[in-house]
Structure 1
């Protein structure tokens, strides 16, 4: 049987160009905001896409799955930066990348995506809340490091609310308002980019003197420097494993969603999940060498690319090329973006992650699902992401053991009844 020849037409290329261009416009403010939230130089959030997109496009199984810096990795990398600086973030990312490749080689990708949905949803909601709370110092203009827990941040903000400044608050709310409006009325347009543009214009018109992103360079950053220590076995390895696990779940779930929106309602093959994790593991090793945050699947830019005509791997490569061109030729404008505007982008994305429909479904959820969802969300916000995922999944382990114990008890009782009946017949 002869396979049909695949032709890459001008129409296909036009669709890929359009999809890659829109995906890049969405990726730019998102990447800058996520890296800043992690405590990294903002440009590293964009370099994640530049370094990893060509690799995942060539090696990955889903041709239109576009990756980049994501909110799901924020708690892990932000904690590493807080404790050990840029080198700590690189160390954790590299360890996580190796674990992802190990998942692929051991063919565990097909099982990683089986994490209970309430845990995934609770994790997403917890990160959404963390993203909003973590930006309150920048949004309000209140001086503070924000290095404490989210609860401590809320307490400090509440106590010092009278110190809030009008200018950063206005810029952040302006971005949030524009994003909400654009996303509702014209969902195909890059809402974060338009919001940042409006805030930048307002800052210029009203001569606001707020902290800015600063100069962005297209030159590759230097290799991240770090040293290994014996205590890393107890700190870096567990965090790296948890980061790899959460990232793997995100990649595989996002890939399924993207395939659905492509119109391919075909269940993912088992081997596809393993290959996808291997591709992202390899690409993230490259990103981690330069201290750039890990790349995972991004639903917003992947679906935007599809809606604008992207159909092949070239849409992913065009997305990286457009990002490089924007930084190379527009760095002067990007450097003037107020940090308050990026804080507004981050807060808006946090609100989007709060999945309000899940909160409305709580009364109709099974007890174990509701408990897992709420606990995971709360622990992400108040403790850390590793504990949140572990405790969230443990509810299902306890439920399984409880059912096994009840079943064993029922079998034992049935056996006693049968034995008693046999004696009576005898």
Structure 2
């Protein structure tokens, strides 16, 4: 490579890095939006408090870890992320992934997994993999969301069944099994108290929403149930004492001995963090005129956020769809809103950590149960189930596998399932049609067949196309019209060369008309052009191909008696 080429490549690399870093342009409209951003930030911070606490407890780590994640990751993702309105922190989907990690490797492994996953997500952004989420079909996304909602709901059952329990109590078992076991072994008296506390929170959340959407129902419910528990003697377990400051940053154990056991969970966490964050950013961009988002930079920002969270002893972070939606609907239009949200949570830690520690775990369970219920949009479910059979099946399958086995496996199987049916449907549009010879008929035309290819010539349709074309009988020349082919892959091109060779072996001369410029290199590489008897058997227009075919029939002197031996070009 020349020196100019090296300089050009270096310049592009520098420009790419610059696109992934914060700039003054991120705050260009701040003078116009700062009032709305402040209001939205405070609103989201109030809404996020019970969720951060609940997800921290439910993950099997701690309420403190949930708060730390919301604060540290919330700031870092806001500054470095690719969306102006994304709000990041602990989420229900991440809780589902963290439980088995806590079960198998202990709480201390979560911070290390967070750092490793952050590095992976950051690298994915630097490698421009942000658009990959667009390959996930909508039914798979909704099935994934439904499965997560079911798991989050069921994980709260242990918190209601016995004192001091949480979703982590059943982390070594399937969520359905763990919930059933918790109920079977439940302390009846405690279950009534806990269910009552959760019901108070749920009623407050529903009532506040009906009075005015801007009222933070979850916070109102938590305040009410905590106040009731303070004045009424009860057996309910509370969060417990919380630190009054953020923990000091500490690099978790990433020694060579620990890495092999952490890499697998880190890859899973990274995949989930990337998927959920990009989906959340895409949804946010569609809610209002919030400006575009950069998916690659969003991955970089979320990676940095998870790294920072792990260093401070927190959990892996992702973009939170619910909190992001609250931010947009509350008037947030710049990154300042997400930064203020983290500042509100930090202020709560510094000022009112004592009262926060008195919140009953059953109250947090109520918040998460209703949150899980609201994650599922009944109209969306009905729409998917009433759509195509393939999409409905992909939706149901993804949801079932998410609940029964593993989130990432569910997404991969859902994509594969949807992809299979999409390819099958696409392949059915491929076909071949025998066309009449245009213009006035000429003697010997009955010895010429024009076969038109339609749709995509891909692997899924290749065998059927081969059988249909080679079934042509009683002719001496076959003209293959290729101009209507929309898409062709290597398998399709290879089968096309097999078709030419099969016909030529039977003494039928093959002419090809109308190869599209975008397909020519592939046809040449795979051997389609080499399979022709002569280079003159390649044409750009149909009349020229028909004239050439008629000359073959005329020289053969056999009319419709059928070919016996090959004739010259």
TM-score between both structures, scaled by the size of structure 2: 0.68
Q: CA deviation at 1:143?
A: 8.1
Which structure carries more helix by proportion? Answer: 1
Equivalent-residue separation in structure 2 for 1:244 and 1:420 (angstroms): 61
In structure 2, do the counterparts of structure 1 residues 178 and 421 end up closer, same or farther at CA, with 3 Å as the change threshold? farther
| Residue 274 (structure 2) aligned to one of 212, 230, 248 | 248
Q: Which residue of 2 aligns with 1:62?
A: 83
Kindly indicate whether the alpha-carbon contact (under 8 Å) linking 1:142 and 1:157 is maintained by their aligned counterparts in 2.
no
Contact 1:123/1:376 (<8 A) preserved: yes
Answering whether residue 181 of structure 2 is matched by residue 153 of structure 1, we say no
Asked if residue 114 in structure 1 is aligned to residue 154 in structure 2, the reply is: no
Question: Could you say which residue in structure 2 is the equivalent of 1:87?
Answer: 108
User: Which deviates the most, 214-223 or 100-109?
Assistant: 214-223
Identify the residue that residue 328 of structure 1 maps to in structure 2: 350
For 1:87 and 1:419, locate their aligned partners in 2 and report how far apart those are by CA, in whole Å: 73
Which residue, out of 244, 252, 262, partners 1:236?
Answer: 262
Residue range with higher mean Cα deviation, 219-228 or 23-32: 219-228
TM-aligned CA deviation for residue 414 of structure 1: 2.4
- Which one of the candidate residues 273, 280, 284 is aligned to 1:258? 284
User: Whose Rg is larger?
Assistant: 2
The residue that corresponds to 1:18 in the other structure is 39
2:428 is equivalent to residue 407 of structure 1: no
CA drift of 1:108 comes to 0.7
Give 1:38-53 correspondences, 5 Å limit. 38-53=59-74
Q: Say whether the 8 Å CA contact 2:82–2:299 is kept in structure 1.
A: no
Matches within 5 A, 1:186-225: 186-221=212-247, 223=250, 225=252
- Range that drifts further, 296-305 or 134-143: 134-143
Contact kept? 2:269, 2:316, Cα under 8 Å: no
Output the CA distance in 1 between the equivalents of 2:398 and 2:207.
31
- Bigger strand share: 2
Preserved contact between residue 96 and residue 243 of structure 1 (Cα < 8 Å) = yes
Within 1, Cα distance between the matches of 2:146 and 2:139? Answer: 10
Conservation of the 8 A alpha-carbon contact between 2:150 and 2:372:
yes
CA contact (8 A) 1:247 1:296 kept: yes
Conserved? CA contact 1:288–1:294, under 8 Å: yes
Provide the residue aligned with 2:500 in structure 1: none
Deviation, 1:212, is 0.9
Compute the displacement of 1:39 (Å). Answer: 0.4
Q: Which of 52, 56, 63 is 1:35 aligned to? A: 56
Separation of aligned partners in 2, 1:217 and 1:152: 34
CA shift for structure 1 position 419: 5.6
Q: Which consecutive residues of structure 2, in runs of 5 or more, have no partner in the other structure?
A: 1-24, 428-457, 477-507, 509-559, 564-569
SS of the counterpart of 1:418? coil
1:141 and 2:168 correspond: no
SS in 2 for 1:198: helix
CA distance in 2, matches of 1:243, 1:200: 33
Counterparts in 2 of 1:231 and 1:294: CA distance versus 1, 3 Å? closer
Q: How does 1:231-380 map to 2 (within 5 A)?
A: 233=260, 236-264=262-290, 268=292, 272-380=294-402
Partner of 2:188: 163
Shift of 1:377: 1.3
Task: Give me the whole-angstrom Cα distance separating, in 2, the residues matched to 1:307 and 1:232.
Answer: 42
Paired residues of 1:86 and 1:291 also in contact (CA < 8 A): no
Q: Larger RCO: Structure 1 or Structure 2 (Cα < 8 Å, ≥ 6 residues apart)? A: 1
**1:254-291 Cα shifts (integer Å, max 9, x gaps):** 11221222325x7x47xx11011111111211111233
CA distance in 1, matches of 2:29, 2:179: 56
Give me the whole-angstrom Cα distance separating, in 2, the residues matched to 1:50 and 1:316.
10
Give the 3 Å change call, closer, same or farther, for CA 83–208 of structure 1 in structure 2: same
Count of equivalent residues:
417
Task: Tell me how far 1:394 sits from its aligned partner.
Answer: 2.0
Separation (CA, whole Å) in 1 of partners of 2:28 and 2:104 = 51
Distance in 2 (CA, whole Å) between partners of 1:142 and 1:408 is 63
Which sections of structure 1, spanning at least 5 residues, go unmatched?
A: none
Aligned residue for 1:137, secondary structure, equals helix
Q: Is the 8 A contact 2:198 2:366 kept in 1?
A: yes
1:49-102 deviation digits (Å, cap 9, x = unpaired): 211222222222322211111112112212111111122212322222111112
- The offset of 1:225, in angstroms, is 4.0
1:304 match: secondary structure: helix
CA distance in 1, matches of 2:470, 2:219: 71
Give the conservation status (yes or no) of the 8 Å contact 1:33–1:342: yes
| Residue-by-residue CA offset, 1:30-54 (whole Å, 9 max, x unaligned) | 0000011100110111111211222
Q: CA deviation at 1:362?
A: 4.6
Out of 68-77 and 367-376, give the one that drifted further: 367-376
* SS of aligned partner of 2:85: coil
TM-score under structure 1 length normalisation: 0.89
